[in-house]
Structure 1
Amino acid sequence: MVSDRSLAVLRAIVQDYVSSREPVGSKSIVERHSFGVSAATIRNDMALLEEEELIAAPHTSSGRIPTDKGYRLFVDRLGEFRPLNQAQRHAIETFLGEAGDLDELLARTVRLLAQLTNQLAVVQYPSFGGAKVRHVELVPLGGTRVLCVLITDAGHVEQRVVDAEQEIEETDLADARARLNVAVGGMPLGEAADRLAGIDDPGDPALARLVRTVAGTFAEQARAQRHDRLVVAGAANLVRTEQDFAGSILDVIEAIEEQVVLLKLFGEMAGDPHGVAVSIGRENAPFGLGETSVVASDFTAPGREISRLGVLGPTRMDYSSNMAAVRAVARYVTRMLGND
């Protein structure tokens, strides 16, 4: 059983090691922290922590560093959110508030997170995978061009111009519009994409060509909306921490480039009562990221599935500050998307 003082010593070791990157010894703990006991007593506490595999000696020196298990205990029981100051909160609101659309907002979000945390920042693009087709509209633009408009139940509008290859009569366009709405109206976008790909041939060659062209266009739109992808920034931050990785950082970078890996990791991370999920070291080994930690939080947009944003870096990271920054940015993003 680890005593309260031993847990306080663990907190001190985590904080000092994150700050200095140097193994922490009993003498430095006595000098930097007010425990009111001797270095010998601190050494006894450190011995107990080592027995519990919460700290370890990286080499023959007397200093100790936290293990993945130690970081986990720190995050779950000992870490405290370090609140953002007024200047940081104002910077978040101002910088994100200047975004003109969703793409720019997410691009600004990862840049901001990378700057606030000095880690690699990742944002999952909001998906309309759960949205449904409210209406399909076809608008003649003159000649052979037709504007295809897809409207979801969340009010999102997706538009594309297609070339029907020949001029279409208004009656044929109305017929195609009706067929498409009957086929996919009220259907989830994911199912609509598959349904449109196999829509029945209406018989008339010209109308059939138009329906196939438009159906293919809407299938592309629906698939694009349900496709998960990530926006990433701050790779230079990861490179600057290369000495925190025992192996090659290239393995980490390759795993990050495989976006499906991070998306799966995001999906399996469990949040805590503070609204932040943290996955540490060996917990990420199945994803090829066993030397990294990930801090993530959810954000939402009307009509879209819940998405996540967060930061990835070495296990030696400032968890308290990073957790506070990730949670704050996620809340701002949710607020701004809700105001759109």
Structure 2
Amino acid sequence: MTQSRRMLVLRAVVEDYIRSQEPVGSTTLARDHDLGVSSATIRNDMAALEDEGYLIQPHTSAGRVPTEKGYRYFVDRLATVVPLSEAQRRGINSFLSGSASLEDTLQRAARLLAQITGQVAVVASPSLAKSTLRHVEIVPVSMTTLLAVVITDTGRVAQHLLVIGSLPETATLSAFSSAVNAQCGALPLSKAADAVRAMAADPRWRAIAPLVDALARAFDAMADDERTSELYMAGTSRLAHQRTVADLAPLFDALEEQVVLMKLMSSLSEEAQADGVSVAIGSETHTPGLMHASVVTSGYGHTGAARPSGESGADAGPAAQAGGDPVAFVGSIGPTHMDYANTMAAVRAVARYLTSFLAHDEDGPRS
């Protein structure tokens, strides 16, 4: 019995179980797969795979189903993420290109991914902590309060109230805003805060020291706030058709815990391999409600390096092409018997679109 053939048997079991969701027997494998051996030999291979923890036999007389370890072996040996067809990619571009804003694009992306996979789709908006400053506008709202409207390179718009002692003169406020944009443009918000603090030493801004300090603290607060990303979710109603009632409660609880979900999926997207897609199966999620689920995630956008110029570098993932860490993630949550190849391809395709969208958004209007 060769190890390589045994693993071909394992792959066949996983593929058949994903397709049928019924325990797989040796006779079926011998009939439907060109394994070159008898059903009795396949049966021996399956028994060995069960001993090694790759398969389990739910009932004595039934076939076998993959374990978490079996799925992990299968996913790790999907040599590459097979790209979607040209028609599928055009469909994604067509559906998403009608978006009016970043928020609309992310909502559409979640709905589309849920539709393609038949699973729960989760798309995070770009984190302010990973964004750089494009422009800040400071607007008076009362005699002691100003509103800082911050626009980032990822298209996020954040607002922060600045409470000060008295309102600066219009000319001074305008000059200060221009100076901040000139010195802080393209800086991460944390570094922009440091740059604004350094401006306090400039004699021109000595009279508005409270404003300088308030703006620096506002940039710090935005950079430190882990909850500034929003989650766009779609497809939760599909769960009821795939899970038993007993499984639904903890799964819905897990989906409600958005901070936990964001940390899990952000971490996965940052650990993604060269193909840009990362998979956590069952207990690998370290999330009680996801013990019987799998999570497929890819980062999109980037921090630091130059933007991608299009579809070049097809073998690289969205963040790998762009350089730097992803600014946010897109992912799919489904049963452990999900169609991994299709889900991984769909997640990567949507992530590539969002990376391109952010690049075009920075460079100007999309064509």
What TM-score results when the alignment is normalised by the length of structure 2? 0.74
1:53 aligns to 2:74 (yes or no): no
Task: Identify if the C-alpha distance between structure 1 residues 136 and 39 changes in structure 2 by more than 3 Å, giving closer, same or farther.
Answer: closer
| Contact map agreement 1:229 1:259 (CA 8 A) in 2 | no
| Contact map agreement 1:145 1:161 (CA 8 A) in 2 | no
Measured in 2, the distance between the counterparts of 1:110 and 1:249 equals 21
Counterpart of 1:240 in structure 2 is 241
| Contact map agreement 2:133 2:150 (CA 8 A) in 1 | yes
Mapping 1:127-142, distance limit 5 Å: 127-133=127-133, 136-139=136-139
Q: CA deviation at 1:129?
A: 1.1
Task: Identify if the C-alpha distance between structure 1 residues 84 and 170 changes in structure 2 by more than 3 Å, giving closer, same or farther.
Answer: closer
Counterpart of 1:271 in structure 2 is 272
Counterpart of 2:320 in structure 1 is none
Counterpart of 2:346 in structure 1 is 325
Measured in 1, the distance between the counterparts of 2:156 and 2:68 equals 46
Residue 295 of structure 2: SS of its match in structure 1?
A: strand
| Contact map agreement 1:293 1:312 (CA 8 A) in 2 | yes
Counterpart of 1:115 in structure 2 is 115
The letter for the 2-side match of 1:252 is L
Q: CA deviation at 1:37?
A: 2.2
The letter for the 2-side match of 1:16 is D
Q: CA deviation at 1:299?
A: 0.8
Q: Which structure 2 residue ranges, 5 or more long, are not aligned?
A: 201-207, 305-323, 362-367
Measured in 2, the distance between the counterparts of 1:59 and 1:100 equals 53
Measured in 2, the distance between the counterparts of 1:4 and 1:214 equals 62
Counterpart of 1:35 in structure 2 is 35
What TM-score results when the alignment is normalised by the length of structure 1? 0.79
Residue 330 of structure 2: SS of its match in structure 1?
A: strand
Residue 60 of structure 1: SS of its match in structure 2?
A: coil
Q: Which structure 1 residue ranges, 5 or more long, are not aligned?
A: 201-206
Task: Select the structure of larger CA radius of gyration.
Answer: 1
Flag the structure with more relative contact order, 1 or 2, with Cα contacts below 8 A and sequence separation at least 6. 1
Task: Identify if the C-alpha distance between structure 1 residues 159 and 144 changes in structure 2 by more than 3 Å, giving closer, same or farther.
Answer: farther
* Residue of structure 1 aligned with 2:330, choices 283, 289, 309: 309
Task: Identify if the C-alpha distance between structure 1 residues 32 and 212 changes in structure 2 by more than 3 Å, giving closer, same or farther.
Answer: same
Measured in 1, the distance between the counterparts of 2:124 and 2:224 equals 16
Mapping 1:218-237, distance limit 5 Å: 227-237=228-238
Counterpart of 1:204 in structure 2 is none
| Contact map agreement 1:162 1:214 (CA 8 A) in 2 | no
Instruction: Give the alignment's Cα RMSD to 1 decimal.
Output: 4.0
| Contact map agreement 1:83 1:321 (CA 8 A) in 2 | no
- Percent identity, please: 44
Of the structure 1 ranges 234-243 and 74-83, higher mean CA displacement relative to structure 2 is found in: 74-83
Mapping 1:15-94, distance limit 5 Å: 15-77=15-77, 81-94=81-94
Measured in 2, the distance between the counterparts of 1:184 and 1:93 equals 34
Counterpart of 1:9 in structure 2 is 9
The letter for the 2-side match of 1:254 is D
Residues 201-248 of structure 1 deviation map (CA, whole Å, 9 limit, x = unaligned): xxxxxx8998899788777766779723321111022221114x8x42
| Contact map agreement 1:148 1:160 (CA 8 A) in 2 | yes
